[in-house]
Amino acid sequence: PSDLMAHRPTYDPYLDNLKSPLIKDESDGKTLRLRFDVANYKPEEVTVKTIDNRLLVHAKHEEKTPQRTVFREYNQEFLLPRGTNPEQISSTLSTDGVLTVEAPLPQLAIQQ
């Protein structure tokens, strides 16, 4: 899989943190929070969907001029804990291009 982080010359702990899932402990249970760097894409070029227990993040940018064609594509897949309800998954895109996806964790996953 392609990694957008590979071309960054300096170590940035913030961006490195984007790669790892975070579990938030809230009063109404635990929430899985995933973050993805899609700064090179417009909001309408980014899609988030679930298939079975997999979360799929896809972004595609294509730009054509008489002189050149630019094409970028980003794919990430994350295996959701068993029992995660896809209807409860939410996603937001920040102005600096960080996509945050949150899903309440099922009680079964919390007890393990």
In order along its 112 residues, the chain shows pLDDT tens digits of: 444 444 444 444 455 555 566 676 666 678 889 999 999 999 999 999 999 889 999 999 999 999 999 999 999 999 998 888 989 999 999 999 999 999 998 775 444 4
Q: Facing residues of 86 across strands?
A: none
Tell me what pLDDT residue 79 has.
Answer: 92
Give the number of domains in the chain: 1
CATH, residue 80:
2.60.40.790
Tell me what pLDDT residue 17 has.
Answer: 54
- Amino acid identity, position 92: T
pTM: 0.72
Residue 24 lies in a domain: yes
Long-range contacts, stretch 30-33, CB < 8 angstroms, 24+ apart: 30/104, 30/105, 30/109, 30/110, 31/102, 31/103, 31/104, 31/105, 32/80, 32/81, 32/84, 32/102, 32/103, 32/104, 32/105, 33/100, 33/101, 33/102
Domain limits for position 60: 19-111
Q: Which two tokens stand for residue 21?
A: 């899932």
Residue 8 lies in a domain: no
